[in-house]
Amino acid sequence: MNEKIVILDFGSQYTQVIARRVRECNVYSTIIHFNTPAAEIAALKPRGIILSGGPSSVYAPKAPLPDKAIFNLGVPILGICFGVQLLAQFNGGKVEKGLKREYGKGTLSIKDGSCKLFAKLPKSLQVWNSHGDKLTKMPAGFKTVATTENSEYAAIENRAKKFFGLQFHPEVVHTPRGKEIISNFVHSVCGCGKNWTMRNYVDQAVEEIRAQVGKEHVILGLSGGVDSSVAAALLHKAIGNQLTCIFVNNGVLRSREAEVVQQVFGKSFKIKLQYEDATKIFMTRLKGVSDPEKKRKIIGKTFIEVFAAAMKRVGKAKFLAQGTLYPDIIESVPIAGNPAALIKSHHNVGGLPKNMKFKLVEPLKNLFKDEVRLLGEELGVPKEIVWRQPFPGPGLAVRILGEVTPSRCEILRNADAIVVEEMKASGLYYKIWQSFAVLLPVRSVGVMGDERTYDYTIAIRAVESQDGMTADWVKLPYDLLEKLASRIINEVKGVNRCVFDITSKPPGTIEWE
């Protein structure tokens, strides 16, 4: 991508959000480490630089600081939150501990409407603050363009140098017009066009894949999930018959999952698809196992075995493709106060037998999840796959508490199919993070007709979430809940009771296991 915005990461929890917002403005953005040398940054030829926020204070002994030469590159700079303090620190201003921490909603009053950042925006804006330190002396060449109740310097500008500082966070949804501020920065200030689109990306990615792979063959593990499905469609567009996908049926898939994958990728896309029905071996190994961790380990290990054997049968491939995404490869910034942040290992093929060596193709590694979905649409992958809810690798096994048996799988598959069908019919399926059924291996008494029953319970779970890390239970309408319960109890043999889970995460998890 010729036009790009470079984001220096100082450890903010929102760094990736900044990158996504820039891309939503159709401008490519890339996240790099805060202390990347200015010469390396210059070599990337950025149209603009954004300094992320971060948990530190510029005065902290181990504060993450940039190479000071970045301020002499002649490139526009937008400093956000901690980024403002950096602008001040390196340009002769002063930052002190604020008497009051400014946290949460605030109102921004724009004092200088000629500032390009606030073009076409009202004079007063709702913004989201999260900072303790504040600017007390303006850096040289800067002037105030907006204030809040608590800060005289909420937005500052050095017009000659095209440097801007915002004490609030324009990238978060709690700053409702923030995206327009970011758009003004990347388009009006940095002069970027709207070139980052998935339509353009397809051409670029196809070229890159061809250049990397040449005439060699590539294997991809297709799970039917969003990432591997979109990777399959993209690779197939690039290299056609040089791609073979392996799809393993581990016996804990959802209803019709194997058929849909074969139909979509085998029949419509005409991708070479190796279908491995390993249901029996998975079921045999899971027999008698109730411990959730053991179940996961058995499924993981068996998957590798089945997959490796299938790869040997496919033969001749030099490359293994993976649906690695951008967040998997960004190196977290190891900053004081954030000790758990480690460099991520993205080569998660680990597990394949040591004598099987492959080169990796990762055609989605520069994309965020929302971009992968748009790319999928661009490539004609059906909506039911592109927009489907997350589904765990160990499948229904984590939704059957206790032992996983073929008959329990059958019960849960039928109940789950009803949940998916009714959630789609209600229009809620694509609006929420996840909705599914869980089988509780407890039997209770019921009556059906004149007969007493002694059957399992199905728990219905529906959650909203941004990333699966935290979640709220969704207040499903009563009539939908009623329909779900009545259909499940009437139509799924072996179930006589339904309950609805009203636990949020934390303290609960999304899956029950």
Confirm if 72 and 42 have CB atoms less than 8 A apart.
no
The DSSP secondary-structure symbol of 306 reads H
What is the smallest separation between the CB atom of 508 and ligand XMP, expressed in angstroms?
A: 8
In the bound complex, what is the minimum distance in angstroms from residue 393's beta carbon to ligand XMP?
Answer: 4
Q: How far is the CB of 227 from ligand XMP (least distance, A)?
A: 10
H helix or E strand, kind and range, residue 296: helix 292-314
Interaction mask 443-472, ligand XMP, x per CB under 6 A: -------------------------x----
Residue 24 contacts ligand XMP per CB under 6 A = no
Q: Is 157 a catalytic residue?
A: no
- Strand 163-166 and strand 155-158: the pairing is antiparallel
Tokens of 349: 């093929």
292 binds ligand XMP (CB under 6 A): no
Element (H, E) at 87: helix 82-90
Does 55 engage in binding with ligand XMP (CB under 6 A)? no
* Residue number with CB closer to ligand XMP (196 or 247): 247
Q: What is the spatial distance between Cα 433 and Cα 388, in angstroms, rounded to a whole number? A: 9
Contact assessment for residue 447 and residue 404, using Cβ atoms and an 8 Å cutoff:
no
**Of 65 and 401, which CB lies nearer to ligand XMP in the complex structure?**
401
Query: Minimal distance in Å, beta carbon 222 to ligand XMP?
Result: 14
Kindly write out the interface string for residues 179-218 of this chain, putting x where it contacts ligand XMP by CB under 6 A and - elsewhere.
Answer: ----------------------------------------
Cis before 76? omega within 30? no
Q: Which is nearer to ligand XMP, 398 or 423 (CB)?
A: 398
Number of residues engaging ligand XMP in binding (CB under 6 A): 11
Instruction: Calculate Rg over the CA atoms of the chain.
Output: 26
Residue 393 near residue 238, CB atoms below 8 Å: no
**DSSP H or E segment with residue 491:** helix 478-491
Active site residue 293: no
Region of residue 137 (left: phi > 0; alpha: psi -120 to 50; beta: else): beta
Reading the block at residue 436, the tokens are 């599914």
> Which residues are CB-contacts of 61 (< 8 A; sequence separation ≥ 6)?
none
Residues comprising the chain, all counted: 513
Residues β-bridged to residue 157 = 143, 164
510 binds ligand XMP per the rule CB under 6 A:
yes
Peptide bond into 55 cis (omega under 30): no
**Euclidean distance between CA atoms 266 and 255, whole angstroms:** 18
CB of 435 to ligand XMP, least distance (A): 11
Angstrom distance (rounded) from CA 213 to CA 329:
21
* Calpha distance 330→48 (Å, rounded): 20
Considering the complex, state which of residue 139 and residue 376 has its C-beta at the smaller distance from ligand XMP.
376
Catalytic pick from 102, 171, 180, 422?
171
CB of 264 to ligand XMP, least distance (A): 20
511 near ligand XMP, rule: CB under 6 A: yes
Residue type, 210: R
- Of 3, 25, 81, 192, the active-site residue reads 81
Binding mask 333-372 for ligand XMP (x = CB under 6 A): ----------------------------------------
We find the least distance from the C-beta atom of residue 18 to ligand XMP, in angstroms, to be: 24
The minimum distance between CB 438 and ligand XMP, in angstroms, equals 11
**Nearer residue to ligand XMP within complex by CB, 25 or 510:** 510
Active site residue 81: yes
Decide: is 434 part of the binding site for ligand XMP (CB under 6 A).
yes
Among 72, 241, 263, 509, binds ligand XMP (CB under 6 A): 509
Q: What are phi and psi of 490, to 5 degrees?
A: -75, -35
| Residue written as token pair 């200030």 | 189
The site string for ligand XMP over 467-506 (x = CB under 6 A, - otherwise) reads: -x------------------------------------x-
Question: Which residue number, 190 or 231, has a Cβ lying nearer to ligand XMP?
Answer: 231
Nearer CB in complex with ligand XMP: 61/506: 506
> Residue 55 or 390: which CB sits closer to ligand XMP?
390
Distances (CA, A) of 387 to 282, 289, 373, 433, 471: 28, 33, 7, 10, 19
The active-site residue, picked from 25, 102, 115, 169, is 169
- CA-to-CA separations, 452 to 41, 235, 411, 447, in angstroms, rounded: 73, 55, 19, 4
Instruction: Using alpha carbons, select from 391, 424, 418, 428 the residue that is nearest to residue 498.
Output: 418
Q: Which is nearer to ligand XMP, 197 or 465 (CB)?
A: 465
DSSP state, 462? E
Q: How far is the CB of 273 from ligand XMP (least distance, A)?
A: 21
Residues numbered 380-419 forming contacts with ligand XMP, rule: CB under 6 A: 390, 392-394, 398
Does the protein bind ligand XMP through residue 327 (CB under 6 A)? no
Answer for the pair 460, 417: CB distance below 8 angstroms, yes or no: no
> Where on the chain is the footprint of ligand XMP (CB under 6 A)?
390, 392-394, 398, 434, 468, 505, 509-511
Q: List residues with catalytic annotation.
A: 81, 169, 171
